[in-house]
Structure 1
Amino acid sequence: MKRFSLLALALLLFLTGCAGFTGGSEGTQASEGKTEDGKVKIDFWTFWGSEIRRPVIDKIIEDFNNSQDEIVVEHTYIPFGDIWTKELAAIAANNPPDVVINDINATALRGQEGQAENLAPYLEKDDISGRFYENLWDATLYEGDSYGIPFNTDTRLLFYNKDAFKEAGLDPNKPPETWEELEEYAEKLDKKSGDTYERIGFYPLYGVGSDVWLLNGSGMNYFNEDDEPVINSETNVDTMEWIKSWKDKYGEDTINRYQSQIDSQQSNPFFNGSLGMMANAATFYTQIRDYAPDLDFGVAPLPEKTSGSGNTSWGGGFVAEIPKGSSHPDEAWEFIKYLTDKEAQEYWAVKNFDNVANIEASESAATSDELSEKDQMVYEMAAQNLNDTLLTPMPAYAPDYVNLINPQLDAILIENKPAQEALDKAQQDVEELVEKTAQ
């Protein structure tokens, strides 16, 4: 009875959320049949509806449609906040799209839940796994089989203000390489007028979260190679105490004042030199380009915790999937191959200034004549950094584990809970989740 109710609810969601979509690329239901000239129609769902990304993906689709005479791809745009709910409802109603863009970090979980088609039969005939960065490909696997093909990704870098470096007596061509140097540089960059900071050198949680520094410090995810949670490791405790020391140094009022400026984007204190260094996604550069085009800045990998520990960064991304029950999986596969091949990937990378999953396309985009000198500098660094970038895929044996960890990280920084105590609690909660999931 419970199973029937869930299916009924999913069907209701689909009918109310999708049935009103009629015609065109603004929301057609999953394609059926063929065109008048006998071409198979496949429906491709994305959340790329902005004035920048929509024309790019539509051009890629147009190029694919013109490249052969058997398949026609129709683009359905659905807002980011709705697309995956609608997809699950469509799967439950046995009327899914043929291809959908989905979150890479939950690909294995969707494989386990039977929400995406197993791509192993296609890969046996047409193995394209070598196109992609290894960490991205591995994130698509469940029990050794892929359930999605990597499309785009991202990585975190250290941005630093070269003019501020010069003013503080630092070499503008030598960014900090370790956490110790990061602290030393920040101390020199700090500038106060009385009790008020006119410039702060660095604060680790501007632009990224605690999880990025935990990854950077330990060089691994929250789980070890044996799939065991290692949340309360000595390194993680040390990292959280290190982050807390920065908050204690600058004080909550200063941190909140700067954060309010960062939230407004165009008045980001990094743009005017009142924030010397900032960790952020590589695509943060597009804000610099738009709001502070004359800023003299550099980019570098995230500093190592200690010399030799590694410049580990964090990334996410999206995959192209064939939802379970697609009416045209063979044709969907042909489109996915085109979507993730060099030409389409490089076009997406250059036009959107976005990191892509295809290695050859990523490396080629970094030297594209369509990019300015600054564009190339940042993109090349980002492309190189993908080799040191880890993902945090949702393990099938511990779904939603981050919801057990994040409250404890907040408790350390907001409630002054001892780092060891908080991470011990997170460790216990995740271990219980793993045990419960295994039952």
Structure 2
Amino acid sequence: MSVTIKRLIALGLSLAMALTLAACGGSPSQSAPAPAGPAGESAAGGAASEAAQRLDEQKELNIMFVAGNFPESMQKIYSDYEEEYGVKINYTVLGVDTYYQKMLVELSSGSDAYDLIYLMSPQFLQYASNDWLYPLDDFIADKTITDDALLDLDGLMKSSVDAQRYDGKLYGLPVASLTTLLYWRKDLFEAAGLDPDKPPETWEQLRDYAKLLHKDGVAGVGLRGARSAGGSEGLIWEWPMVMYSMGGDFVKNFPTDMTPTLDTPEVAASIDYYADLLQNYSIPGATTCNYEDITVAVQQGDLAMWIDGAAIVRNYIDPDKSATREEDVGFAPVPAGPEGRCAPLNVHSINIPKNAQHKERAWHFMQWALSEEILVRLGIEGNLVTVSRESVYDNPDFIAKNNIGGGAWLQAMRESLANYAMPNYRPLTPEWPEVADIVSGYISDVFAKQSTAEEAMKMANEEVAAVYKEAGYIS
């Protein structure tokens, strides 16, 4: 029997004891400390017993996640939880665009249809600020439904945990901290007379390489070109790294001066550069593509270089799906501009909607799903390669399964996270999804040659300024 199962069984026994004591007039505080509260120990103990009672009664869990490594890997093993605890899990995974459209409608309307959802940094702030999520602090304090050893909150990456705090409360648990990498086909480099072990160091060099490699049905470079999906994905995940490295920014000085700066020459230059790559040296439909399209192109052997998420690496080299072989792929941090290398940072999380019907059961499942043991299993039995616990990266079985490129992938990812990933990659405020949609919409107009970068960003700047004025950030 696994350590995780033993701990959760122990928690269940503790729960049952608490219920028995409560039924007999005893106090559960004798076996577990009651959470502090203004109503006093007795009321807190009663609340704890009520939470334990609700957990015991909740035998169904409705989960809706967005497609990705963690959700898809969890599909392989969540039945273990069902079997162990007699719980029926209704588990659904949707593509990114469909998912966030549905979540926005569901949560903004106060729906109670889902008990657990999956968010990324941009959406988290929007959802938390709109009071659509349930805070976890009382659950953590309630030892009748929380196993501190299993939860191991301190074992989760602190920066990722802090990214789930809003207005002094914790609203989720992190799954992983994600960034992007530059990937390239060593065999195609060698055929083109390039050193297979030396990727382009700068954006200009990347374009030169793309021109050279763009031939014989193979595209020179792949980057996301789709419009933002509620503040993330598409071009808004990748274009900013070019903008920052070329000296541009969204605002003057986040968060102290939110005056938009999208109408600068540096921002326009980054858009012109990005458009040139997508229009002339990328895959068909590049100006509207997302990561799924890039993945398919890699699997078909149609890309010489691409920049995308570190976590997607398994999909590129899966021998059952891809014509691109692991031994032919190189890994490195993204190229540099005049201002250096600038990489994205995105925290993925599991969260409980405010109106969820089965909150205690959702919390119980979260502890199980994000325990070290289960994360290791997701990495070994599934395709999870980026996690929220450093200890998992040191697990020998996890290393053996994910020793991609002889360790080159892990080295490149850790280098990017440590040195180039920007905590303020996006000026994250509750209004960010609206801002991202505005900016990406105008960049799409440039891609479609409906306006110049200068014209588009002047209009975008005005619209973003109006959003920030209404929010009270600028006068």
Q: Residues 271-320 of structure 1, C-alpha deviation per residue, up to 9 Å, x if partnerless? A: 54x642112233154233222154612111111123x6124135463x22
- 2:270 alignment counterpart: 239
How many equivalent pairs are there?
390
Report the TM-score when normalising by structure 1: 0.71
Paired AA for residue 456 in structure 2: A
Counterparts of 1:100 and 1:267, CA distance in 2:
26
Pairs within 5 Å for 1:191-230? 191=215, 199-202=218-221, 204-205=223-224, 209-211=234-236, 212-218=238-244, 222-223=250-251, 224-226=254-256, 228=258, 229-230=260-261
Asked if 1:117 is matched to 2:134, the reply is yes
Pick from 386, 409, 413 the counterpart of residue 443 of structure 2: 409
Structure 1 residue aligned with 2:191:
167
Determine if the alignment matches structure 1 residue 180 to structure 2 residue 204: yes
Determine the structure 1 residue equivalent to 2:334. 302
1:187-234 deviation digits (Å, cap 9, x = unpaired): 44355xxxxx65553354579854313234416974523261443344
Q: List alignment gaps of at least 5 residues for structure 1.
A: 1-31, 192-196
Cα deviation 1:213-262 (Å, max 9, x = unaligned): 32344169745232614433443222112223435655xxx853889999
Distance 1:293 1:218, change over 3 A: closer
The separation in 2 between residues aligned to 1:402 and 1:260, in whole angstroms, is 16
Which residue pairs with 2:468 in the alignment? 434
Summarize the Cα distance change of 1:371–1:131 in structure 2 as closer, same or farther, 3 Å threshold.
same
Task: Judge conservation of contact 1:186–1:202 (CA < 8 Å) in 2.
Answer: yes
Distance 1:263 1:325, change over 3 A: closer
Compute the displacement of 1:435 (Å). Answer: 2.0
Name the CA shift for 1:267/1:60 in 2 (closer, same or farther; >3 Å): closer
Q: How far apart are the structure 1 equivalents of 2:197 and 2:357?
A: 55
Q: Output the CA distance in 2 between the equivalents of 1:395 and 1:183.
A: 33
Which range moves more in the overlay, 355-364 or 234-243?
Answer: 355-364
- Aligned equivalents of 2:184, 2:272: Cα separation in 1: 24
Q: 1:351 to 1:328 in 2, by over 3 A?
A: same
- Deviation per residue, 1:393-438 (Å, 9 max, x gap): 8621455222211121012221252222211211110111122244
Matching of residues 38-437 of structure 1 within 5 Å: 41=59, 43-47=61-65, 56-57=74-75, 59-60=77-78, 62=80, 66=84, 73-80=87-94, 81=98, 84=103, 87-88=106-107, 91-92=110-111, 95=112, 97-122=114-139, 130-133=154-157, 136-152=160-176, 154-191=178-215, 199-202=218-221, 204-205=223-224, 209-211=234-236, 212-218=238-244, 222-223=250-251, 224-226=254-256, 228=258, 229-246=260-277, 256=284, 268=297, 271-272=300-301, 275-282=303-310, 283-289=312-318, 290-292=321-323, 294=325, 296-306=328-338, 309-315=340-346, 317=348, 319-326=349-356, 329-330=359-360, 332-354=362-384, 355-362=386-393, 364=395, 368-371=399-402, 373-374=404-405, 377-387=408-418, 388-390=420-422, 392=426, 395-415=429-449, 417-437=451-471
Shift of 1:159: 1.3
Task: Assess, with a 3 A threshold, how the Cα gap between structure 1 residues 147 and 334 changes in structure 2: closer, same or farther.
Answer: same
Post-superposition Cα deviations, 1:143-188, rounded to whole Å, max 9, x if no partner, equal: 2432121224543221111112112222211111211322333344
User: 1:378 deviation in Å?
Assistant: 3.3
* Alpha-carbon separation, structure 1, partners of 2:219 and 2:345: 24
Instruction: Please report the TM-score for the alignment, with normalisation by the length of structure 2.
Output: 0.66
SS in 2 for 1:408: helix
The one-letter amino acid of 2:412's match is: M
Instruction: Give me the whole-angstrom Cα distance separating, in 1, the residues matched to 2:459 and 2:340.
Output: 27
Give unmatched runs, 5+ long, in structure 2.
Answer: 1-51, 143-147, 227-232
Q: Matched residues in 2 for 1:50 and 1:103: separation?
A: 11
Q: Which one-letter code corresponds to 2:169 in the other structure? A: D
Q: Is the 8 A contact 1:155 1:313 kept in 2?
A: yes
- Specify the code of the residue in structure 2 equivalent to 1:88: L
> Partners of 1:103 and 1:399 in 2: how far apart?
11
- 1:58-85 deviation per Cα after TM superposition (whole angstroms, max 9, x unaligned): 635635974xxxx765422235246636
Contact 1:136 1:150 survives alignment (8 Å) = yes
Question: Which residue identity is paired with 1:268?
Answer: A
Paired with 1:336 and 1:39, the residues of 2 have a C-alpha distance of 17
Q: What residue identity is the alignment partner of 2:77? A: K
The whole-number CA distance in structure 2 between the counterparts of 1:57 and 1:115 is: 25
What do you get for the CA RMSD once the two structures are aligned? 4.3
Q: Is the 8 A contact 1:46 1:77 kept in 2?
A: yes
Residue 436 and residue 128 in structure 1: after superposition, are their counterparts in 2 closer, same or farther (change >3 A)?
A: farther
Q: C-alpha distance in 2, partners of 1:89/1:209?
A: 23
Structure-1 separation of matches of 2:158 and 2:69: 32
Question: CA separation of 1:215/1:72 partners in 2, compared to 1, >3 Å: closer, same or farther?
Answer: farther
**Distance change >3 Å, CA 47–CA 98, structure 1 → 2:** closer
- Residue 315 of structure 1 contacts residue 389 of structure 1 at CA under 8 Å; is this kept in 2? no
Q: Aligned equivalents of 1:145 and 1:160: distance in 2?
A: 42
Measured at CA, do residues 260 and 393 of structure 1 come closer, stay the same or move farther in structure 2, by a change above 3 Å?
Answer: closer
Between 1:132-141 and 1:279-288, the stretch displaced more is: 132-141
Match of 2:34 in 1: none
CA distance in 1, matches of 2:269, 2:315: 33
Look up the equivalent residue of 2:416 and give its one-letter code. N
Structure 1 pair 204–163 and aligned structure 2 pair: CA distance change class (3 A): same
Q: Does the 8 Å contact 1:366/1:380 carry over to 2?
A: no
Aligned AA for 1:173?
D
What CA distance in whole angstroms lies between the structure 1 residues aligned with 2:376 and 2:90? 22
Contact 1:412-1:418 within 8 A present in 2 as well: yes
Q: Distance in 2 between matches of 1:351 and 1:420?
A: 49
SS at match of 2:413: helix
Residues 305, 114 of structure 1: CA spacing in aligned structure 2 closer, same or farther, 3 A cutoff?
A: same
